[in-house]
Amino acid sequence: MLTGKTAVVTGSTSGIGLAIAEALAAQGANVAINSYTDNEDDHAIAARLAEQHGVEAAYFKADMSKGEAARGLIDDVIARFSSIDILVNNAGIQFVAPVDEFPPEKWDAVIAINLSSAFHTTAEAVPHMRQAGWGRIINVASAHGLRASPNKSAYVASKHGVLGLTKVVALEEAGKGITCNAICPGYVLTPLVEQQIEDRMRESGLDRRAAELKFFLDKHPSEQFVTLGEVAAAAVYLAGDMAAQVTGTTLSIDGGWTAR
């Protein structure tokens, strides 16, 4: 149980981030959720988490493409909750194009949100974790942090960078009660992927299962998607005391993709 702990999850009003926030709240953690939109739905999510799980929950707007905003998010969470015990760096974006056609501004945006934001939030949170003598940093990376695919230069580079950052922070904080690990999911069945499946079906004329196997699950020997619950369960494990000696490593949830 994580009762009394405070967790912040970046990029957490939908998909993987929201699933992790839900799972941590279910374990008793107070949760700070984040996006850049700041609308009624965002605040409603926080209110629902608080009511359903009997914890404190709040929404914080922060544009994770900007370092100052990423650091400010940590400061705002500490001001609200008086501590930060669990940091889940989940915010991320994707853009696909051959390297010679990749727009420089898209490269900069992907690196800023996927990689640099994790550096900024971690750098701001670590001193508070040291003072408390306990902390968990969980970076949501990707199977693409371990493998490459064509036309994804910025995404693959950013996720490889996240794994490097994870290892460095783990070494720097070893013996201080702070761990840092990365989760590397394969294709997760999120609302965004659901839409992509529909698009592929429409473009190709294939039925759903055929489209899944051709365009997504060709990399998964299991031929199954990763579920949101599976990723969230991994985060709960890494956040708990049973993972006290798990640090500087990656937890792959990819249906066998990286076993090849």
Q: What is the pLDDT of residues 102-142, one digit of tens each?
A: 999 999 999 999 999 999 999 999 999 999 999 999 999 99
**In a domain? residue 111:** yes
Q: Are residues 52 and 118 in the same domain?
A: yes
What's the pLDDT score for residue 62?
A: 98
Mean pLDDT of 200-218: 95
Pairwise CA distance, residues 144 & 184, whole Å: 8
Q: Are residues 83 and 207 in the same domain?
A: no
Q: Are residues 157 and 216 in the same domain?
A: no
Q: Are residues 116 and 198 in the same domain?
A: no
Quote the pTM value: 0.97
Convert the pLDDT of each residue in 57-87 to its tens digit.
999 999 999 999 999 999 999 999 999 999 9
CA nearest 33: which of 80, 67, 1, 65?
Answer: 80
Q: Are residues 209 and 98 in the same domain?
A: no
DSSP-assigned states of every residue in 57-98: EEEEE--TTSHHHHHHHHHHHHHHHS---EEEE-------B-
Range of the domain at 71: 6-188+226-253
Q: Are residues 46 and 149 in the same domain?
A: yes
Mean pLDDT of 196-207: 94
Is-contact 155 143, C-beta < 8 A? no
Q: Looking at beta carbons, which pairs linking 67-70 to residues 24 or more positions away fall under 8 Å?
A: 67/112, 67/116, 67/117, 67/120, 70/10, 70/116, 70/117, 70/120, 70/121, 70/124
What's the pLDDT score for residue 1?
A: 86
Pairwise CA distance, residues 58 & 252, whole Å: 30
Q: Is residue 187 annotated as part of the catalytic site, yes or no?
A: no
Mean pLDDT of 78-99: 97
Q: Are residues 172 and 238 in the same domain?
A: yes
Q: Residue 16 — left, alpha, or beta (φ > 0 → left; ψ -120 to 50 → alpha)?
A: alpha
Q: Are residues 70 and 161 in the same domain?
A: yes
Q: Are residues 125 and 235 in the same domain?
A: yes
What's the pLDDT score for residue 175?
A: 97
Q: Are residues 113 and 213 in the same domain?
A: no
Candidate list 36, 59, 155, 187, residue with the active-site label: 155
Q: What's the domain count of the chain?
A: 2
Q: Are residues 43 and 110 in the same domain?
A: yes
